[in-house]
Structure 1
Amino acid sequence: MNEAIKELQPKEVWNNFANLNEVPRGSKKEEQVISFIKDFGDKLGLETTVDKTGNVIIKKEATKGLTDRKTVVLQSHLDMVHQKNNSTNFDFDTEGIKMYVDGDWVKADGTTLGADNGLGVATIMAILESKDIAHPPIEALFTIDEETGMTGAKGLDPNILKGDILLNLDTEEDNEIGIGCAGGVDITALREYEEEENPENTVGYKIEIIGLQGGHSGMDIIKGLANANKLLARLLYTAYRDFGLRISTMRGGGLRNAIPRESEALVVIDREDTNVFLQQMLVWIDEIKKEYASLEPNMDISIQEAEVEGKVMKVEDQMEILKAIASAHNGVYRMSPDIEGLVEASNNIANIEVADGKAKIKCLTRSSVNSTKSDLAHSLQASFELAKFKVKQSGDYPGWAPNPQSEILKILDEIYQKQTGEQADIAACHAGLECGIIGNHYPEMDMVSFGPTIRGAHSPDERASISSTQKFWKFLLQILQEIPSK
């Protein structure tokens, strides 16, 4: 299946991407891909280092005629988001990604593709192994664990790089040159609850929400897509209010940086109420589908009779937990008053696990303004603490402040206009990029971010544009030739 990918142009990039995607590389499970990249550098005879955090640095001397140019750091992250459809049988820890071509798109078979940020990694690999591509001195920086904490960037040795310019290859619109991004903080809410035996004369049901678009909790949050966890809590709350529904378990979502696509609950209802309950559930489900008809055409909400073997939550605890989920903000919190169309702050209620007397809710709060990030984080903490949760804030990382006067930005802008005849979209984004953290280590380094067009990142709908990758490759090659002198 992946052999067809290797025939795509530019072959230098797609061959490396196909080889990279044979290697399991989930966040915090990067041992195999670290070894893969280290071996890649060693076989090329290039100076290759793995730092104490696990980042891989490969250095390559400039080609003839460009030895007087500034040193460029080419940077991408090795890890990828692991998400798959419920119906897909796949083991991310042992299997390589199965890819196929669909028109102008490269897609994966029921899983995330790993183009975020595998295409950036593959592109850097192509530069490192090239024999005929003109380039200045290169320091290739492959970071780890970008997707679940940016611990690679945080742990980067502030003395290991000598580069003057950093090109981050992790932007997902090929007409965009990134000059800023949001920071983030993880919110984790934990509590215990009391259980009791299922009431007598009840019937068990499984309520399941699937088929949502999901996507990147930063880049896609502005779209107003449905959050499976919020929708499930909404149904459960109204069903308790009207029918006394009791919850046995709730589970939904996955990684913090992915909008939840699926969520489910096991519940029980008094047997005498089942007919009316089922009829009313269909009404509520239809209401939700109509609300999201244009955004979530593949939404499927089902309710089926199921055996509920476990206990149910005590009513008081159940209501506290449901109210906490209902009151916790999800989605865009504030738009930037200074940059049109930019989300300033948002929150993603990413993962919910309620079972066996323990409840855990995971969120990712983002903002390009630290004070707004703190305000939203404390607002969420207050909502959860009112429901007797213990709340922990962790993994805080800074945003990347835009520098419109950047020298390398001006070079990229001019090249883009010459190659396309159009203006590049010079913008900050609501995603978390490593530039802000790396910039803390290297405050004098001039930075920009760009990349090929990728859609549906962090979801099994992830896909990468073939024609856009060609455009991106041409753009990068010209940039490397026009890096300024020292």
Structure 2
Amino acid sequence: MSSEIRQLEPQQLWNKFADLNAVPRASKKEERVIAFIKDFGKNLGLETIEDEVGNVIIRKPATAGMENRVTVVMQSHLDMVHQKNNDTDFDFDTQGIQMYVDGDWVKAKGTTLGADNGLGVATIMAILESTDIPHPPIEALFTIDEETGMTGAKGLKGGLLKGEILLNLDTEEDDEIGVGCAGGIDVTATRTYTEEETPEFKIGFDITVKGLQGGHSGMQIHEGLGNANKLMNRLLFDGFENFGLRISEIDGGSLRNAIPRESKAIVAIDAIHEDAFLLEMQQQANTLKTEFKTMEPDLEIIVSKTEVPEKIMDLGVQEGFTRAMYAAPNGVYRMSPDIPNLVETSNNIARVIVKDGHIKIGCLTRSSVESSKMDLANTLRSAFELTGCEVEFTSDYPGWQPNMDSEILKVLTKVYKDLNGEEANVAACHAGLECGILGTHYPEMDMISFGPTIKGAHSPDERAQISSAQKYWKFVLEILKQIPVN
């Protein structure tokens, strides 16, 4: 399958992407891809270092005639989000991504593609390997663990890089030039509870919510996509209100930065309510399908009989839990009053686990305004603490404030218009980019972000547009030619 990808233009880019996608590279499991990138740099005879947290820096001198240009840092992250469909047999720890071409798109078979941020990494690799591409002095910065905490960017030491301009290749619309992004914080609620023996005359049911699109919890949070954890809670709440449904287990969502696509629950109800319960669940399923028919046409809600669970949640804890889940904000919290159509603040209820006397609810809260981010985080904290949970704030990272007077922004907007005959969309985004963190270590560095068109990032529907990659590659090459004189 990678042979098909390797024939695409520009071949330099797609060949490096195929090489990279053969290497497992989950967040926090980057040992193999770090070694891969280090070997790549050393085999080219270039200065290659790994810092104390695992970031890799490769330095390449300017090509002839470009020695007097400003040194440029080209930056992308090595890790990728690992998501797969339930019916896909795939081991991310041992297998390379299985890619194929579908019209104008490169896709993966039932898994995330890794174009986020693999196409950025591949771009930098192709530039480093090239012998005929004009470019200024380059410091290639490959960071780790961007997707689950940005610990690579956080751990990068000031003074290690000498470049004055940073090109972050992690934007996902090819007509967009990024000048700002949201910060984020993980909000995690936990508590223990006493399980009860399931009373007699109960019957067990599995409830499954699946078929949702999922997606990037920053870039797609405004699209009205279904959140499997919130939909499941509606079903459980209704079942309890009408039939005394009792919860045994819940397993919903996966990664903090992915809108949850699936949730499963094991519940118990009184046997005498079986027919009425199934009818009510079918009516609720039909209501949700109608409500989400435009955005989630493949939504499935399956209720099937199973063995009676041995244990169920304490009744008071269950009532508090389902109400807290109802009260907890999910989706867009506030739109920016300053930048049209920009989500300022949002939350993704990403992960819900109820099992063996333990509750864990994981959220990722994002905002381009620090005070608004903490306002929403405290809103969530309050909802969960009212039901007896302990709430922890972790992985806090800053946003990236736009600089509309940026010199490299002027270069990119001119190059884009010259190449495409139209103005680029200069914008801030609601995703978390590493620029905000890197800017704390290198406050004088002039930063910009751009990239090829990628759709469905963080989901098995992730796909990269081939024609966009061609457009983007030309953009990259021209930018490198136009880097100003030092």
The interval holding the TM-score normalised by the smaller chain is: over 0.9
* Corresponding residue of 1:57: 57
* Counterpart position of 2:467: 467
State whether structure 2 residue 224 is matched by structure 1 residue 224: yes
Q: SS at the partner of 1:223?
A: coil
Summarize the alignment of residues 179-198 of structure 1 with structure 2, pairs less than 5 Å apart.
179-198=179-198
Partner of 1:10: 10
**Residue 85 of structure 2 is aligned to residue 81 of structure 1:** no
What is residue 99 of structure 2 aligned with on the other side? 99
Alignment deviations for residues 363-416 of structure 1 (CA, whole Å, 9 cap, x no partner): 000000000001111111000000100000011000000000100001100110
Give, as a single letter, the amino acid of the residue that structure 1 aligns with 2:119. Answer: L
Structure 1 length normalisation: TM-score?
A: 1.00
What is the match of residue 300 of structure 1?
300
Residue 451 (structure 2) aligns with? 451
Residues 62-120 of structure 1, C-alpha deviations (whole Å, 9 max, x = no match): 00111000000000000000100000111111111000000000000000000000000
Q: State the aligned residue count.
A: 486
Please say if residues 456 and 462 of structure 1, whose CA atoms lie closer than 8 Å, have aligned partners that are also in contact.
yes
Percent of residue pairs bearing the same amino acid type: 64
Q: In structure 1, give the amino acid aligned to 2:195.
A: E
- The answer to whether the 8 Å contact 2:202/2:308 transfers is no
Name the aligned partner's letter for residue 484 of structure 1: P
The answer for the alignment partner of 1:318 in structure 2 is 318
Match of residue 109 from structure 1: 109
* 1:153 Cα deviation from its structure 2 partner: 0.1
The equivalent residue for 1:149 is: 149
The Cα shift of 1:224 comes to: 1.2
- Are 2:347 and 1:347 aligned? yes
Q: Paired residue for 1:280?
A: 280
Alpha-carbon distance in structure 2 between the residues aligned to 1:181 and 1:25:
24
Displacement of 1:309: 3.6
Instruction: Show the counterpart of 1:202.
Output: 202
SS in 2 for 1:326: helix
Unaligned runs of 5+ in 2: none
Structure 1: unaligned runs, 5 residues or longer: none
Q: Deviations over 1:178-200 (max 9, x none)?
A: 00000000001000111111121
CA deviation map 1:237-271 (0-9, x unaligned): 11100000011100100110000000010011111
Structure 2 residue matching 1:353: 3-state secondary structure: strand
Alignment of 1:37-52 (within 5 A): 37-52=37-52
Aligned AA (2:107): K
Aligned to 1:76, what secondary structure does the other structure show?
strand
Matched, 1:375 2:363: no
Distance in 2 (alpha carbons) for counterparts of 1:296 and 1:309: 31
Cα distance in 1 between the residues matched to 2:398 and 2:5? 37
Task: Tell me which residue corresponds to 2:398.
Answer: 398
In the alignment, what sits opposite 1:438? 438
Letter aligned with residue 341 of structure 2: G
Question: By how many angstroms is 1:137 displaced?
Answer: 0.2
Matches within 5 A, 1:202-281: 202-281=202-281
SS in 2 for 1:140: strand
Q: Which moved more, 1:352-361 or 1:308-317?
A: 308-317
1:426 partner SS = strand
Q: CA separation in 1, counterparts of 2:485 and 2:308? A: 70
Q: Is the 8 A contact 2:214 2:258 kept in 1?
A: yes
Q: CA deviation at 1:159?
A: 1.2
Question: Matched residue of 2:107: which SS?
Answer: strand
The secondary structure found in structure 2 opposite 1:476 is helix
Give the whole-Å Cα distance in 2 for the aligned partners of 1:205 and 1:90. 28
The answer to whether the 8 A contact 2:243-2:269 is kept is yes
Q: Contact 2:215 / 2:456 at 8 angstroms: preserved in 1?
A: yes
Say if 1:166 and 1:447, in contact at 8 Å, map to a contact too.
yes
How far off is 1:164 after superposition? 0.6
2 CA distance for matches of 1:441 and 1:117? Answer: 22
1:54 deviation in Å? 0.1
Letter of the structure 1 residue corresponding to residue 335 of structure 2: M
Over 3 Å counting, the alpha-carbon distance change for 1:208 and 1:40 in structure 2 is same
Q: Secondary structure at the match of 2:378?
A: helix
Q: Distance in 2 between matches of 1:352 and 1:94?
A: 27
Q: C-alpha separation between the residues in 1 aligned to 2:148 and 2:437?
A: 14
Q: Deviations over 1:181-221 (max 9, x none)?
A: 00000001000111111121111110001110110000000
Considering only aligned residues, what root-mean-square deviation do their CA atoms show, in Å? Answer: 0.6
Q: Write out aligned runs for 1:354-373 (5 A).
A: 354-373=354-373
Q: Is the 8 A contact 2:332 2:346 kept in 1?
A: yes
**Secondary structure at the residue paired with 1:100?**
strand
Q: Answer yes or no: is the 8 Å Cα contact 2:268–2:309 preserved in 1.
A: no
1:267-299 CA distance string (max 9 Å, x none):
111111000110111111100110000000111
AA in 1 matched with 2:37: I
Task: Give the corresponding residue for 1:291.
Answer: 291
Please state whether the residue corresponding to 1:301 is helix, strand or coil: strand
Tell me which stretches of 4 or more aligned residues in structure 1 moved more than 6 Å: none
Instruction: Answer whether contact 1:248 1:308 (CA < 8 A) is retained.
Output: no
